[in-house]
Amino acid sequence: MNIFKNKKLLQATSYKLQAQKGQAALITVLFFLFISLALVGGFSGFAAIELRSAKILEKSKQSYIFAEGALEDAIYRIKSGKNMPSEVVYQEGTLVATTTVSETTDTRDIEVEGLQVDARRNVRTLLVEWTGISFFYGAQVGEGGVAMGNNSRIEGAGGTAGNIYSNGPITGGSGATITGDATVATGIAEDNQARSTVCNQAQIVGQVNPEIDFAQSFQPSDTQPLAKVSLYIKKVGNPSNARVRITADSGGSPAGSDLANAILAESSVGSDYAWIDVVFSDPTTVTSGVTYWIVVDGKQNANKYWIWCKDSNQGYGNGVGKYSEDWDDDPWTQIVGDLTFKTFLGTGVSLMDGVVIHGDARANTITNSEICGDAYYQTIDASSLSFVNSPSSPTCSSPLTPGTAFPDQSDSSIQNMPISEGNIQDWKNDAELGGIINGNCGDDGVPECVIDDDGTLSLGPKRINGNLVLTKKQTLIVTGVLYFTGYIDMDSAGGVTVKCDASFEDKSCIILTDSWVHLQNNTMFHGSGEEGSYLMMLSTLDTCLGGTQRSECTHHNSAIDLHNNATGAIFYAGDSLIYIHNGVNVTEVTAYALRLDNTATVTYEEGLINSRFSSGPSGGWKIQEWQEIP
């Protein structure tokens, strides 16, 4: 009986175990089924997300491209003077770009929102006025210096101080007066043995890695302070300012620290090759026969970079050209060619002689002068020093407070001229964009350039292959840059008027010539009529330096000769002499050399510090910033 019970019990247990095994197998199958479904679902979901992300990314790229297109259209409209509303909406299918423009006197801030359904991209650029030239002095003069006749004056408008900065000596006759500060910088001369001026191949600087920083070695021929270097260079786009460094040699490459440095300003470099001066405010003394390096330290940008010309034949025997990704931290690689450069050494003694200075005087040597303010010098005669210690000149301003003498002072460094060859070339290019006239303007020119008696002509921008001759009561209104290849001669008892068009507003206009300028007898100059607007007359001549008369120069062997009042005008001859006759008042003058006849006056206006020149009434603009924004 027990045997049967045990057998039945064993059978029941076996059936139970078999049932449990079946359930476990079913659970296992269901588990793997659920896992498989989860994996399939997961992969499907991931694929769907990836597909959705790809579509969003594609829409985002389309939004960005469409926004960039709208931004470029706005820039084109503003730079070309076309109408540009404060808000414009562009639409193409499901793509929408909304452009908004915020403006101030000299900026245009442009933002564009690109939208493709739910994908949004925003871009922004800041435009600033194309050229700003600062005239910080009533007169700024190059190495040719200043000669002031009896009772001539350099003064400020309304009795304010009129300052002068000269890279050459300042000398004066009886009563020659400067009502502000006067500075004479160290004289300089080009080192004709430490230069390479052949240009036959372009060297791109800063477009790609590692060709970012470039250097050229040289050996000076004398032991003197290195006052400045000139580079034959141009730009593509608007690169950031670069820094020019002078370094010692270290194992055949530039050393990792500099001896002097200065800014290579983007605004002074044009789109065509030109010699660009870089002046060192704290020059280093270089030693004859020792190797030094000129290093251009810039930034990398694929669209905005420099082009430094070079001599691919390596004609300069005392130096080589090299490049590096970072001038003070990475190795240098030699290039095939010598980069174009000039060097200028400080030589001679800066002299101030025979002038009355109401402000402070700075020069190496001061003689026969009356200094109402402080004096900074190496050498001074007893007469000049007596005025510093106890000013008794009736020409000094009251009260007569004694100035202070500062002996053993270092010579002041030379100053760059405010307008570069690059600026001038850009203005010429802008003039040519308006068309070319072959023939003279004024009395006997081609029909579109004749100005009748008592007539008015609006002209510009234009290049005129000829002269400008105005001898009657005529009015010339400058509507854009006027570039004459010939001379400018104005002489009219009835009174010639030359002025900027009213649309220039607070900006200034330009007439430039590759020849001489001669003005006399009641020629009147005006800006647009708004405060801060002036007319500038500029000559590019570089051979008219006074002395023996040359055929290409006007009277007194000058580039610009002024006989009549010229208030409201700026005169510029950065490479030649400007001669100002007695009884003439000039708003501002900048020249390589300046001569003031008896009683001639230069009157400086404070607004010239911020004087802005435009290529035309619509204004000139450059891109200051370009970026994607949130």
Which DSSP helix (H) or strand (E) runs through 431? helix 421-433
Q: Which residues contact 156 (CB under 8 A, 6 or more apart)?
A: 138, 162, 163, 179, 180, 603, 604, 605, 606
- Structure confidence by residue, pLDDT tens digits, 404-416: 899 998 888 888 8
For all residues of the chain together, what is the average pLDDT? 84
What pLDDT is stored for residue 509 in this prediction? 92
Q: Which of 222, 265, 217 is nearest to 244 (CA)?
A: 265
Q: Which is more confidently placed, 521 or 290?
A: 290
**Burial of residue 65 (number of CB atoms within 10 Å: 0-12, 13-18, 19+):** middle
Local confidence band at 10 (pLDDT 50, 70, 90 cut-offs): very low
- Structure confidence by residue, pLDDT tens digits, 202-245: 999 999 999 999 999 999 999 999 989 999 999 999 898 999 99
Q: Which is more confidently placed, 132 or 70?
A: 70
Q: Which is more confidently placed, 36 or 594?
A: 594
What pLDDT is stored for residue 356 in this prediction? 92
In this predicted structure, the answer to whether residue 289 has a pLDDT above a threshold of 80 is yes
- Structure confidence by residue, pLDDT tens digits, 448-502: 788 888 889 999 899 999 999 988 888 999 999 999 999 999 886 667 899 999 9
Cα distance between residue 322 and residue 318, in whole Å: 14
What pLDDT is stored for residue 35 in this prediction? 61
What pLDDT is stored for residue 592 in this prediction? 95
What pLDDT is stored for residue 4 in this prediction? 41
What pLDDT is stored for residue 488 in this prediction? 95
What pLDDT is stored for residue 23 in this prediction? 60
Local confidence band at 621 (pLDDT 50, 70, 90 cut-offs): low
Judged by average pLDDT, the poorest of 131-140, 221-230, 525-534 is 131-140
Mean pLDDT within 147-176: 88
pTM score of the predicted model? 0.72
Q: Which domains does the chain have, with CATH numbers?
A: 24-130+621-629 (3.30.1300), 135-159+417-609 (no CATH), 197-346 (2.60.120), 351-406 (no CATH)
The answer to whether residues 320 and 334 touch, using CB atoms and an 8 Å cutoff, is yes
Length of the chain: 630
What pLDDT is stored for residue 319 in this prediction? 96
Judged by average pLDDT, the poorest of 43-57, 364-378, 478-492, 548-562 is 43-57
State percent of the chain over pLDDT 70. Answer: 81
Judged by average pLDDT, the poorest of 161-165, 254-258, 539-543 is 161-165
What pLDDT is stored for residue 594 in this prediction? 95
What pLDDT is stored for residue 60 in this prediction? 80
Within 219-315, strands assigned E span: 224-236, 242-250, 253-264, 274-279, 285-286, 292-297, 305-311
What pLDDT is stored for residue 582 in this prediction? 83
- Answer left, alpha or beta for residue 34, where phi above 0 means left and psi between -120 and 50 means alpha: alpha
Helix (H, G, I), strand (E, B) or coil at 68: helix
Give the N- to C-terminal CA distance of the chain in Å, as an integer.
Answer: 92
The answer to whether residues 449 and 441 touch, using CB atoms and an 8 Å cutoff, is yes
Local confidence band at 350 (pLDDT 50, 70, 90 cut-offs): confident
Q: Which of 419, 350, 423 is nearest to 575 (CA)?
A: 419
Cα distance between residue 27 and residue 88, in whole Å: 67
What pLDDT is stored for residue 16 in this prediction? 47
Cα distance between residue 297 and residue 215, in whole Å: 9
Mean pLDDT within 105-130: 81
Find how far residue 436's CA is from the centre of its chain.
Answer: 27
The answer to whether residues 571 and 578 touch, using CB atoms and an 8 Å cutoff, is yes
What pLDDT is stored for residue 331 in this prediction? 95
Q: Which is more confidently placed, 347 or 273?
A: 273
Local confidence band at 178 (pLDDT 50, 70, 90 cut-offs): very high
In this predicted structure, the answer to whether residue 557 has a pLDDT above a threshold of 90 is yes
In this predicted structure, the answer to whether residue 361 has a pLDDT above a threshold of 70 is yes
What pLDDT is stored for residue 30 in this prediction? 56
State percent of the chain over pLDDT 90. Answer: 47
Judged by average pLDDT, the poorest of 110-114, 287-291, 535-539 is 110-114
